[in-house]
Amino acid sequence: MATKKFMYVNRKAPYGTVYALESLEVVLIAAAFEQEVSLAFIDDGVYQIAKGQNTDGIGMKNFSSTYNALGDYEVNKLYVEKESLEERGLTADDLMPIMWEDEDEDWAEKPSVRIVSRAEMADILAEQEVTYSF
Amino acid sequence: MKFTVMVNEGPYQHQSADTALHFVRAALEKGHEIFRVFFYHDGVNNGTRIAVPPKDDRLIQQEWSNLAKEHDLDLVICIAAAQRRGLMDAAESKRQGLDADNIIEGFRISGLGQLIEGGIQSDRTVVFGD
């Protein structure tokens, strides 16, 4: 089967609407298709990978730990827009340390999150062949 | 050109359901191929046959159904999204021990793999949503 560049653009906060959860469900299923997968986090989407999420008060499942498992599915390109973080008073330290293991380098742990500027994000999006927007 | 279309919002609630229908119709009129239309999130509600809008309004679900019949379209409702929102075909309803089904003719229920396959097989994937 042909390999294409798939991009999942996450724009919404993790709770409040179901978009983030159902986007993650697509990413996990898609991993079985052995495509080249990237995720983008822009606008309120940056909150999806924020540290210390606690849903006790809202009766919803806290699915944030699932992002840490993405590396096991060879999903290790998580692009986060710098301006979206800044506009919300967030920095790289506010994000979960999502890692993946590089089997070509003796399973060395490497960070999956890459913070990029808005202009860089535009270039990354332009390179994609299939883009899903959530 | 070969298209896969993803519909992420419900009928009446959001115009993207209408826009997707108009896009598919226009693409077919121009001689393009629609490989598949995949309904996700509240978009699954485009596939219910239990909807009765006021008489002077359009019946979006029926329009999809008619278009599918006319052009032999593959309209796929995501099973995971459908189960959350109460969209069932007869087989799934029976499997779940439920007493009703509500899918309109021309739609089928299947998995998210159908969306990814659409992305791989089509020249363009077009997403309609919020």
C-beta of residue A124 within 8 angstroms of C-beta of residue A89: no
The stretch A119-129 carries a mean pLDDT of: 98
Distance of CA A48 to the CA centre of its chain: 8
CA within 13 Å, CB half, B115? 30
C-beta of residue B43 within 8 angstroms of C-beta of residue B10: yes
Contacts of A22 in chain B (CB under 8 A): 40-41, 80-81
Give the pLDDT score at A114.
97
| DSSP classification of residue B104 | P
Question: Do B129 and A30 lie within an 8 Å CB cutoff?
Answer: no
Over chain A, what HEC string results?
CCCCEEEEEECCCCCCCCHHHHHHHHHHHHHHHCCEEEEEECHHHHHHHECCCCCHHHCCCCCHHHHHHHHHHCCCCEEEEHHHHHHCCCCHHHECCCEEEEHHHCCEEEECEEEECHHHHHHHHHCCCEEEEC
- What residues form DSSP beta bridges with A102? A108
Nearest residue of A to residue B82, measured between CA atoms: A22
C-beta of residue B60 within 8 angstroms of C-beta of residue B12: yes
Q: In chain B, how many domains are there? A: 1
Domain residue spans of chain A: 5-133
pLDDT digits (tens, 9 = 90+) for B78-117: 999 999 999 999 999 999 999 999 999 999 999 999 999 9
Q: Which residue has the tokens 């052009």?
A: B71
The stretch A14-30 carries a mean pLDDT of: 95
Whole-number Å distance between alpha carbons of A43 and A84: 5
Question: Do A30 and B125 lie within an 8 Å CB cutoff?
Answer: no
- What residues form DSSP beta bridges with A79? A40, A114
Interface test with A, best of B120, B125, B130 (most A CBs within 10 A): B120
Question: Do A132 and B120 lie within an 8 Å CB cutoff?
Answer: no
Q: What's the CATH fold of domain A5-133?
A: Hypothetical Protein Ychn; Chain: A, (3.40.1260)
Interface test with A, best of B84, B112, B121, B122 (most A CBs within 10 A): B112
C-beta of residue B104 within 8 angstroms of C-beta of residue B59: no
Whole-number Å distance between alpha carbons of B43 and B90: 20
Label residue A112 exposed, middle or buried (CB < 10 Å: 0-12, 13-18, 19+).
buried
CATH number of the domain where residue B25 is located:
3.40.1260.10
Give the pLDDT score at A1.
64
- Supply the mean pLDDT for chain A: 96
On the question of pLDDT at A88 being above 80, the answer is yes
The stretch A108-128 carries a mean pLDDT of: 97
Question: Do B113 and A35 lie within an 8 Å CB cutoff?
Answer: no
Range of the domain at B65: 2-128
Whole-number Å distance between alpha carbons of B36 and B18: 17
Give the pLDDT score at A31.
86
**Which residues of B are catalytically annotated?**
78
